[in-house]
Structure 1
């Protein structure tokens, strides 16, 4: 998010798209070949060569070259970092009316704890760029007015400039304009207008807008539209916005079918009771086995006052199907208070009651906990692949419950890794290595979804202890655009999979990753259920779910990606990508 006070972050965010603009835009029709060469070399990141040509042009007064030179000194590209030089070249270009230079100059003046910080100068140059129609500058100017940085706080002016940027499809500005309508700041309070702008931002993958839009639909002004609220809150949660879980939990307790669906996907907040007054849940992943029984912690949440809840500690005896309350704590706006139970009495709950469901899930979870302990003492093998910078993708089930992770590259090099983030719902995990110099080229994610019948393949390491540590290729087609019971998150594929393929890339004939192979349908279970012996029915999580997860980790250092020739053969593409795929060992 572009913040007025975070000048350096703002510069980085704005200069990345700027480079492409600089590479092609020309300030006048009489550009010389040297100017074109300066821009071309800079766009190709041949900074030292670019510096020689761009410096001569900048000295002669070329505004675009002056801007490029300012960027090079700003970020140490081909020269040593020198902020004084950067400021000087930005100013020279800005004085000639270059809007991007004006924006960058504004950014330098807004950096906290820097000798050049000057909020009034920052506003001055942001305004010049904004008046030229530059959306990022319009957003920054609006932020200045909204927060009173370098100018008197003025919500009317803030709204005006947010709107100008929003109309150019700036998602941050769309979000802020929607919030202004919600609060009635600078405009008349208007839920309908708020929804219009929040939805525009949400459709541009602005996660905070998705969350806010979901919360808006829960308001009486929107007739408590739970369907729309659930849709946008779920998108925010899948993108890693954890605050969305609380309102989704509230929605799930309103209907029995919602509770069932919620409990399948969210065992960490397993709902056991719901009424008009309150609902109860507990974390079924954090039950604790003791010599006296299984400990579980139950939260009772009031509906009218969401800031008031009651947490009980229960002791469950699975063999007797009984429970006892050990203690309770009340939490409210006034603070917290606790009560210890003097005499522990075990009782058998009524059938189909909240405590009956508590015992059923707690006891199954305690068994699962014991199974996780067994997993932790075993070794798990899977496949991973380099996606960007220091990050490697695999399946969550490959590494779940393990503390030591080792990657083995195609040349046998061993690299330690840690979990950066994981998504148990979609069975995805992103690993991070400390030294990415040993990483091969990254694989690119496909920009378009796969189609039925499209040819795809995977490279992986099935049964590496018996089949060997060399990569294995299997290919097939996209059989369906959804999975078991029409699960929209996955593709059904005919690509043969075996244990050890989990986490591998599903690649199209452009060399792009369209999915992450994750599971195969059990022929035995299907025969038992249907009487049919199904073969070669496998699944891959769609790559855009990985894109959402990647947005939750720091960008870090960018990586070069594998590129394939147009109409390349399967063998040629495989040869390009195989070194980017590795064995994952979790212990």
Structure 2
């Protein structure tokens, strides 16, 4: 009996490794075909997998329909394939589906659906979803303006070392409804974003520094350096 259980276990391990190897093979082939611009072959490669509920293939096929690569552009088809992958938890498909609702591509404009799918993608750490959720709440685009909610998502992005998120987080700390103004932390995030090449961050840092005491500026720069040194784990 013990030998039988071991044989069954080894069989499952073999099948898992085989399926992983097959996925790596088709995905690598699809990338190479896409690189050389042979989108028709990409479509032929991934469609059977998409029809077998492979979420990665479904997302890729959705992209092809949205962009009109290898197939005739069809936003309705794109939404269907994104939806199929998104309900399986595919973060990139969740992001893509949310953006389709925001752009009214293949579906009616629906910001509630946009936020729903972006949130699911953001909860998996998708950087673009984190940025877009934070930015939507910061500007009140499609949702009620909510600086606390913007801070929540942008802080996650900023502490991943993403300059755009750092800049936006600085704007939140600079002042907004429902958030206590904190010029030191605003300067900190503007300083970090500036060092990563965000031009607007330099102007913002100079602007906020005009209303700060010299000791506050020194404190903000020290905090920024400590934050960077700790790989964004010690930023408060």
Give the TM-score normalised by the residue count of structure 1. 0.32
1:202-221 equivalences in 2 (<5 Å) = 202-217=194-209, 219-221=210-212
Aligned partner (choices 155, 168, 172) of residue 160 of structure 2: 168
Which SS does the other structure have where 2:212 is aligned?
helix
Distance 1:54 1:113 in 2: 23
Aligned residue number for residue 109 of structure 1 = 101
Larger radius of gyration: 1
Is 1:136 the counterpart of 2:128? The answer is yes
Distance 1:152 1:215 in 2: 27
Aligned residue number for residue 186 of structure 2 = 194
Q: CA deviation at 1:175?
A: 0.9
Q: Is the 8 A contact 1:157 1:186 kept in 2?
A: no
Aligned residue number for residue 37 of structure 1 = 29
Distance 1:125 1:213, change over 3 A: same
Aligned residue number for residue 468 of structure 1 = none
Instruction: Give CA-to-partner distance per residue, 1:463-490, whole Å, 9 cap, x none.
Output: xxxxxxxxxxxxxxxxxxxxxxxxxxxx
Aligned residue number for residue 8 of structure 2 = none
Q: CA deviation at 1:187?
A: 3.5
1:529-540 equivalences in 2 (<5 Å) = none
Aligned partner (choices 94, 98, 107) of residue 86 of structure 2: 94
Which SS does the other structure have where 2:103 is aligned?
coil
Q: Is the 8 A contact 1:142 1:162 kept in 2?
A: yes
Aligned residue number for residue 178 of structure 1 = 170
Aligned residue number for residue 61 of structure 2 = 69
Distance 1:114 1:81, change over 3 A: closer
Q: Is the 8 A contact 2:137 2:147 kept in 1?
A: yes
Aligned residue number for residue 21 of structure 1 = none
Aligned residue number for residue 125 of structure 1 = 117
Aligned residue number for residue 145 of structure 2 = 153
Output the aligned Cα RMSD: 2.4
Q: Is the 8 A contact 2:158 2:165 kept in 1?
A: yes
Instruction: Give CA-to-partner distance per residue, 1:63-104, whole Å, 9 cap, x none.
Output: 111111111111111122111111111111111111011111
Distance 1:192 1:165, change over 3 A: same
Distance 2:211 2:185 in 1: 16
Distance 1:220 1:36, change over 3 A: closer
Aligned residue number for residue 409 of structure 1 = none
Q: CA deviation at 1:174?
A: 0.9
Which SS does the other structure have where 1:168 is aligned?
coil
1:390-401 equivalences in 2 (<5 Å) = none
1:374-385 equivalences in 2 (<5 Å) = none
1:154-553 equivalences in 2 (<5 Å) = 154-217=146-209, 219-223=210-214
Distance 2:191 2:200 in 1: 11
Q: Is the 8 A contact 1:94 1:105 kept in 2?
A: yes
Q: CA deviation at 1:136?
A: 1.1
Give the TM-score normalised by the residue count of structure 2. 0.75
Distance 2:49 2:213 in 1: 58
- The structure whose residues are more often helix, as a share, is 2
Distance 1:42 1:95, change over 3 A: farther
Q: Is the 8 A contact 2:104 2:110 kept in 1?
A: no
Q: Is the 8 A contact 1:127 1:141 kept in 2?
A: yes
Aligned residue number for residue 85 of structure 1 = 77
Distance 1:194 1:129 in 2: 27
Q: Is the 8 A contact 2:76 2:105 kept in 1?
A: no
Q: CA deviation at 1:42?
A: 2.8
Distance 1:107 1:203 in 2: 30
Q: CA deviation at 1:131?
A: 0.5
Q: Is the 8 A contact 1:66 1:89 kept in 2?
A: yes
Distance 1:186 1:135, change over 3 A: farther
Distance 1:90 1:169, change over 3 A: same
Distance 1:160 1:142 in 2: 7
Q: CA deviation at 1:113?
A: 8.5
Distance 1:162 1:180 in 2: 9
Distance 1:222 1:114, change over 3 A: farther
Aligned residue number for residue 222 of structure 2 = none
